[in-house]
Amino acid sequence: MSDILRLGKGPRMSQVVVYNGIVHLSGQVDLEGETVTEQTRAILANIETLLGEAGSNKSRILQATIWLNDVADFDEMNAVWDAWVDPENTPARACGECKLALDSLKVEILITAAVAA
């Protein structure tokens, strides 16, 4: 049985959980950006950092789930995503509209990735 590695542990959740070669990130948000573009850029930068700490990288992303506070922001978010994602290793992805935890949040991204070989 594999050990479970938890990074960024808090009282409610861990930012990263690694188990059996799979990296699970908690939903990532940005509290400082005002626009969808700013929030998406900050979130993706944080995802890269967290994946690196877990021994992975964006080319190893298996699945991404993206929530938008307003689906009208789909194209703006995708402009940032498309410039960031590894074009040779695009993940399975879903994107939908939902009410996020705070009114100021415009984007939340959840990632599952494989540990780098």
Residues 101-111: pLDDT tens digits? 999 999 999 99
Domain that holds residue 81: 5-114
Residue matched to tokens 């799979």:
22
pTM across the whole model: 0.95
pLDDT at 2: 66
In whole angstroms, how far apart are CA 98 and each of 19, 42, 70, 71?
A: 28, 20, 7, 8
Parallel/antiparallel/unpaired status of strands 107-114 and 61-68: antiparallel
Structure tokens, 85: 């994602």
CATH number of the domain to which 16 belongs: 3.30.1330.40
Number of domains in the chain: 1
What does the pLDDT look like over 53-89, one tens digit per residue? 999 999 999 999 999 999 999 999 999 999 999 999 9
